Amino acid sequence: MDIIVGTAGHIDHGKTALVKALTGVNADRLPEEKQRGITIDIGFAELDLDDVRIGFVDVPGHEKFVKNMLAGASGIDLVALVIASDEGVMPQTREHFEICRLLEIKTGLIVLTKKDLVDEELLELVKLDASELVENSFLENAPVIAVSAKTGGGIAELKEVLRQVSAKIPSRTNEKIARLPIDRSFSVKGFGAVVTGTLVSGKISETQEMEILPLARRVRVRGLQTHGKSVKAAHAGQRTAVNLGGIDYGKIERGMILSVPNVLRPTQIFDAEIEVLKDAKRSLKSRQRVRVHIGTIEALARVQVLNEEGEIGQGEKDFVQLRLEIPVVTIPNERFILRSYSPQITIAGGKVLDALASKHRRKDIENVRKYLKNLTEAENDKTKQVKLFLETAGEHGLNFADLQARTGWRKEILQKAIAENVEKKAVIKAENFYAARTPFDNLKAKTLAEIENYHNREPLEQGILQATLREKIFTHLPPEVFKTTLLQLHKEGKISTNKDIVAASSHNQELTPEEKQIREKLEKIYKTAKLEVPTLENALLESIGGTKLKKEHARKVFQLFLNSGEIVKVTEDFYFRREAITELIEKIKDFASKTPDRLIDMAKFKDIAGISRRYAIPLLEYFDREKLTRRAGDKRLVL
């Protein structure tokens, strides 16, 4: 079992000395640290307790270096709250403890260092001091061990307690993709770029292709080390060093993420739930500039408090939107810390709810709060989380990549959550897009209403063109959503489709008595004319003679002939009865069958059709388009 233990506590309370007494490693690696005798940046060491392998993250205790402390605090499983027996609880003891509480570290122990400098009476007073600090917190019933790094007293007991406490820590879930927040980047001669960090989720294997975010830079894993040994794969919960190919170490900074390619996306806006510390100097207000510590990065941001008052009081919890000045990479339920811009003091902490949020308007706050409350309650319900993300996406829906970017779940986990929603009919699958039932039903209703409105405007039209319908309602929606909407309406028997025409099933093209008269007149006009038809304009005018109807109305009745296929359009002016066209085709084919070269000239065509050149030319051009004939000089080859 692998776990990460982080130290916490005031400066000069013996954190680094404690780690050295446990592991034999001096975690102060910087020359300045050794020269000044204080920890400035995070340091690392390992301890193998047979069935438990511990990776120590030693953090600086000075108030000026809390930023570095926070970079080391991300990803730890257990905290060792270090309190010097000769000083007791100090300001950074309190701040570090509050940070660990806000990060929701579940397990820990209290280590009283420098016990060789005090008597038993003073040691008991320090224990009481520590008990008051952690009262009603995750450390309330934690083991308290007094040690001396100088004499070695209590170190063996501490190792045994670490082993026992570590064995009770539940294994990390295997639901999320590989994510390694980078805390160091350097170059090793002959190997190139190396990054280190705590692998907070997933697995990284040798030769695997990865991505540095937010750079969106592809890299290859050339080698891996955990606990100072080369391995083929690293797992969640391990301090990991990764040798990367394809990038110079100077382009990698603390705060970047090493992750699986093409899944996570950088964001500068996320929604969260936060808790303001009881002893914060003032409430947290909208537009306040803060420092966000998430993963190993520090980012400046503006707070948008998502309530009517626009502020959150000391000791209170509420929802906020954080608008960052640089891109970060995060996923839901990731914990973070807020510190004031100046002076730099810890004021709040919280968890991410929607990692890829869009800006909220004040008038939408009520709906946003309901959505975020539902997300909070669905923290352990993946099926419900997917449904909520899709409901918020509305009619547009989300594709699989969108959902994976929002959740950070492995492909199999997300597929299962989607499938459960689809099975419950809470989510509609539109090829690779997904939409929640409610917005999709609204979209269907809008679509049907648009079709029916069209019928009301154009009662004699067969229906609305699909292209027109898409332009009216689906302009900004994926084509897959459009296709699925029509398919669903068709399955429900609410619409019918004919090639590129969509009509409501209830659409009735019944004609009025006057319209029936026009239809009869048009039938007679074209039947009598045979192949010597009048222009459309003249036919329409003749059909409304003796009625009060207008030419535009006659055109709509004429459209019924076209829709039914009884009339064939040859040119904009000339339309012919299909029966007449069919008869002519049979005559031409009969002529061709008796002619060796199957060629026919204009004169012969006019003779067979019994028409003038005025009709012959458009008819021959029509036959060319229909691939019945093909020009061959001044003749036509009958195909």
Q: Residue 230 corresponds to which tokens in the numbers above?
A: 């080369």
Q: Which helix (H) or strand (E) holds 584?
A: helix 578-593
In this structure, the chain runs to a length of 639
Query: Helix, strand or coil for residue 56?
Result: strand
Handedness of CA 431, 436, 439, 441 (dihedral sign): positive
Query: Helix, strand or coil for residue 484?
Result: helix
Instruction: Select which of 15, 176, 293, 444 is catalytic.
Output: 15
CA 183 to CA 42: how far, in whole Å? 9
Q: Which helix (H) or strand (E) holds 129?
A: helix 120-133
Catalytic, 62? Answer yes
How far are the Cα atoms of 93, 263, 401, 472 from residue 467, in angstroms, in the given order?
67, 34, 28, 9
Beta strands at 203-205 and 567-569: parallel, antiparallel or unpaired: unpaired
Q: Give the DSSP letter string of 588-622.
A: HHHHHHTSTT-EEEHHHHHHHHT--HHHHHHHHHH
Instruction: Select which of 62, 446, 490, 635 is catalytic.
Output: 62
CA 123 to CA 167: how far, in whole Å? 28
Yes or no: say if 7 and 44 are a contact pair by the CB < 8 Å rule. no
Reported as half-sphere exposure (CB side, CA atoms, 13 A), residue 593 has a value of 6
Instruction: Select which of 2, 7, 10, 12 is catalytic.
Output: 12
Ramachandran angles phi, psi of 96, nearest 5°: -65, -40
Q: Residue 187 corresponds to which tokens in the numbers above?
A: 């170059």
Yes or no: say if 289 and 300 are a contact pair by the CB < 8 Å rule. yes
Phi-psi region of 276 (alpha: psi -120 to 50; beta: other; left: phi over 0): beta
Yes or no: say if 269 and 218 are a contact pair by the CB < 8 Å rule. no
Instruction: Select which of 2, 7, 16, 183 is catalytic.
Output: 16
Q: Which helix (H) or strand (E) holds 483?
A: helix 479-491
Q: Give the DSSP letter string of 69-106.
A: HHHHHTT-SEEEEEEETTT-S-HHHHHHHHHHHHTT--
Catalytic, 604? Answer no
Label residues 50-76 b or e (16+ Cβ within 10 Å = b): eebbbbbbbbbbeeebbebbbbbbbbb
How far are the Cα atoms of 307, 387, 569 from residue 352, in angstroms, in the given order?
17, 18, 63
Yes or no: say if 241 and 231 are a contact pair by the CB < 8 Å rule. no
* 460 Cβ contact partners less than 8 Å away, ≥ 6 residues apart: 509, 511, 515, 556, 557, 559, 560
Query: Helix, strand or coil for residue 385?
Result: helix
Active site residues: 12, 15-16, 62
